Structure 1
Amino acid sequence: MRNVMIVDDESLVRIGLQSIIAWEQHGFHITGVFKNGEEALAAASQQHFDVVLTDIRMPGMDGFELVRELKRLAPNLHVIVLSSYNDFEYTRQAIRLGVNDYISKFEMEPDELLRVLASLPFADQLEAGKVVGDGAAHMSDAPLLAEVKQLLDNSKSEESTSLAAKYPLLAKKLADNGDGFRWVSLLPCPREAGYSSTERKAMLLLAEEMFSRLRNPILFGESGGYLHGGYACELGSGALVSQEESLRMAEEWTSAFSQKLNVSLAVGFGSMFAWSGSCEEARREAEAAAELSLFNSSIQFSETSGERRAFTEEEWLNLYKQIKQRIRYMQFRPLADDLTLYMDERSDLHKPSEWIRLGVAAVSQLADFLIERYDPDTVELREKFGSLWPFAETAGAVRTAIAWRQMLQDITARIQQMVAHRQARGGWIERVKDYLKVHYSEQIRLEDMAQLANFSENHFSQRFNQETGQAFSDYLTDLRIQEAVRLFRDTELSTEEIAERVGYSSPNYFIKVFKKKTGQTVKHFKSTQR
């Protein structure tokens, strides 16, 4: 395994280089990541490296000076210069220093980096030992890392385990800074498409870097979608001071994730525990605080956020009745306003999962109403509601209070529009159809029907065709001929009498229309009815 050093003053580049390829699958282990030449040179004097990837322009000691110093320490060291500068002078200086390759860090592709690494002429050397770890790479003590991994694996259980009793190395490392500890959970905001393995690795690397710059916190690693860490605190120093310090750290973390990775980060802190306290309880508190942080879009501390509970049976029943009543009277937007106001008044009482459950229940009843009342097909539902449909899935995917409120407003507004359209459509079209059923034998003028519907003649003709799939004249003709067929079957009336009864003053014209619509002459049709 070849040891690799990365040196770049840009945090995002350092993270990208670590995550661009699966280093260890190709025989390389990233042993050190540094933001300037001074740090890299100090590390190289204490540890063996086989490959260094370094930027050129860095504050203080630049890349060329670093390469010269590194070559004095390790003449066989392989150097790859990474730079955004495409200047021949830089290339010439790099060649003079014995650099193995020179590539643009912003145009570099994984295959290109692997090609360069594979071309390096390594002499037979003893492989550098691999540091075992699950994301806390800044801690090089293998037994300590094993404890951290065990802590993450076991702390989801319901058993109560003392940090000091079961994880003595970790407790000792933290205890140097205080007589207690606080668990912290970082939760990247979930998104519909999820995060790729590369994105998750980049988040872990960024968290490692942020934690390594601070004196106290230790990053435990990733587990259950969270990034977990912990830090020592003085139990007797007062919670206020501790929270102020923690808040500053959390703000730095959320800002870094937003700026460098475009990821919204929720941060939750558990209570301050003595070393004899329960690791499991500390983790549960921190995760609950992170969930609340995500829902409320604010950094949360377990001891000040208050205990959140589920709705009681009585509360749930009252809410159910309220939702039912609003839907019964088709008061959709007032329903959204009711639930939003209810959250505003009681947001500090109930768990985020309870608000999500309430949202799912409300929109499920709305979906039931639409299906029972209007029997829409899937095409219409998708056309009217787009990605909001199915409602229950949309509501169940909500993770923030802002999104919860917006979801209710969007769904109820769309339903209000759909129902209004249906009512408007059903109102005038039914009036016209009802009139025709009674007056089909009379002279029917288009302008009279347009006036009945409160439309202009042209608009009436267009809307009637859209709603029925027929021109108005065709619809009226079908209605009259259907009645004529019934009269031929059920009565002994003559053709002239039936023609007059269904609105045709000319029997000859009626006969022509009858044949066109039924495909039979009147004479033949009457003969089949005997």
Structure 2
Amino acid sequence: MMKVLIVDDEPIIRKVLKSMIRWEEHGLQWGGEAVDGEEAWEAVQQGGIDLVVTDILMPRMDGLELVKRLKQTGADVAVVVLSCLDDFTYVKEAMKHGAHDYILKPTMEPEQLVHILTEARDGLLLQRKDREQSEQLKRQLMLSKQAQWGQRLQKAWVTGMPDEELEAAWFRDGGEVASYLIHFAPGSQMPLLGWQWPDALAYISLSDQRLLLIYEGPSRSEEIRRFLLHECNIPEACFFITDIAAIRGVEQVKQTLGQHEALRSRYFYSDIDGTMMEPEPFSLPAGSGDTLPLEERQNLLKAIAGRNEEAIHHWARHICHRLYREKPPVDQVYSFLYELLGLAAAFARQQTETAVDTFERKYVSLAAVQSRLRMQELTEWFDEACRELAAMLQSRSEAATRNPFVRKAIEYMRNHYRMPISTSDIAEHVKLSRSYLSDLYGKETGESLIEALTRIRIEEAKRLLAGRERKVYEVAEAVGFIDAKTFAKTFKKMVGCTPTEYEEQNK
């Protein structure tokens, strides 16, 4: 029977759960209780626990931290989360980190508890069965000659001791071998049966996403590609192969790993036809010499915090062009964009709850970033993410407000933005005090009066600049700024570029 551990800081909840069902009748066994995540973690470490039912909000270590730690350490348990109606955000986070299901405390019934626990038990049993089958197959495959040669090759690298038998078998009489490194997108690795490579001398699984093959004879790249496509059913977009020939020693095989990474970078920064990609002519700010666009990242986050759709697009483009120009190592690019998207989602959550969870599931994933094996694909995907984020952050439509005072304020600003009006002028027109109108407007639209007035002015300025009908100082005057310098500074802050740069981009 599977043992169940109950984790809750309220004694009454633990007592109710213990007596709510007849455990043995459902193939379960009471496995004890814990008052917080620390006690639960210690109990799981001691062994014998299969299912964990945990509350979310607890002292010392809470339920969310417990779920994360169990996931990170690969603990062989299934987790069910207890939830109140007002902490559902934490529940979603727990589910994201591997919790099997959740139960609402206020509406919990014995039948529901039994159903969820038996589902978790069955899922855990299936997971254990699959894991055992995989491990058994791995053990069988590791007995193959290819795997044994791969193990010996790695041992020679690690110890620095020569393997005379291997050297003689591969390099006798001036023999040569070639190494092939297969780079996989996350989630697209070969089935285990695909590890039996026809005619390979050896294979080494360097990581979940990199497999090294050693062959002798003529180039096998096309043969390996067909094997992956037709025998392993892996789409061509989910892998690529780098190859290095004319290798004449074990130590030289090891040295080729660095060469494979250089070839990987060339592939990453190449177009579909294999040519190295260069950014189009684009005005980039003077940098500090860093290969990663750190300043541009800060400007993008500021644009998100300010709900500035135009600036979000502008700085997303700058980031992509800077990466193309500097060509930093591939793994650095992946980590940078993954962390940036996580920060972007966090900043967006401060502005709106709308669809942020959906955005995170779709874009804030290292596997999703790494699945784009070319820079071209990655930047197109990143641009798509930023566009979706910008659309999500758009301010509420002015026309949607029903408050007559707010509508009157908007109408006044749109009719008088060319004049040097202030928030006091707007309040006087509406016949409310300035402080009351400011509070009312902010609650209704999500922006302040001065932000709304500035946005209206800049929107009109962009229209005039795009039409190239007037000089910059004339545009500044036409939209109500007292001087061109203040206008240029405000424009760059909101749009992400100077008025002159905006004109050039919209020729």
TM-score normalised by L of structure 1: 0.39
Larger Rg: 1
